[in-house]
């Protein structure tokens, strides 16, 4: 499980906040990571993983706090959702790069949390904070279902 974001761009920290809600609540064999750097570093983070859940802020124009669940292993992520990145490559491009070089995990689920405020500063808007908690609960449910099926 990987929470992605930037703590100093308000709602861009939604994935990191969702990861914080998951700390201590997942099975021992599930690794919980937080990434604030270049999205391409995710390829190394998920190397050799059978299943990965990513949580990140998105900006599609949907109401703030909307949750988007995308199966990235099944198809291309819509790049317009992930235009919040301050990096040269965003999350969608990193996933497609991994797909092109055969480094995509067999299961890759992305939960996008619709952002409201992406300016410099700290703290999530109320709708996004609530959505980060809902996203964490949804990921926890999926992970527990996946790990108990083994």
Structural domains of the chain ordered from first start: 2-148 (3.40.50.1450)
- What pLDDT is attached to residue 69? 96
The backbone torsions φ and ψ at residue 93, rounded to the nearest 5 degrees and listed phi first, read -70, -35
Q: Which of 63, 91, 87 is nearest to 76 (CA)?
A: 91
**Which element (helix H / strand E) includes 144?**
helix 126-148
- Note the pTM of the prediction, 2 decimals: 0.90
To the nearest 10°, report the CA torsion of 76, 117, 54, 83.
30
Query: What is residue 85's three-state secondary structure?
Result: coil
Nearest by Cα to 42 from 112, 97, 85, 79: 97
Question: Where is 68: in which H helix or E strand?
Answer: strand 67-71
Tens place of pLDDT per residue across the chain (150 aa): 999 999 999 999 999 999 999 999 999 999 999 988 777 788 888 988 999 999 999 998 999 999 999 999 899 888 777 665 544 567 888 888 899 999 999 999 999 999 999 999 999 999 999 999 999 999 999 999 987 766
């Amino acid at each position: 499980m990987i929470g992605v974001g930037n703590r100093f761009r308000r709602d861009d920290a939604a994935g990191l906040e969702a990861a914080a809600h998951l700390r201590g609540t997942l099975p021992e064999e599930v690794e919980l990571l937080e990434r604030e750097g270049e999205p391409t570093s995710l390829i190394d983070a998920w190397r050799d993983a059978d299943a990965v859940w990513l949580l990140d802020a998105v900006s599609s124009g949907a109401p703030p706090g909307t949750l988007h669940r995308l199966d990235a292993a099944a198809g291309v992520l819509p790049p317009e959702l992930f235009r919040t990145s301050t990096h040269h490559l965003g999350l969608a491009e990193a996933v497609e790069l991994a797909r092109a070089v055969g480094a995509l995990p067999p299961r890759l689920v992305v939960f996008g949390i619709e952002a409201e405020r992406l300016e410099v500063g700290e703290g999530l808007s109320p709708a996004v904070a609530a959505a980060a908690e809902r996203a964490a609960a949804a990921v926890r449910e999926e992970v527990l279902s996946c790990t108990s099926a083994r």
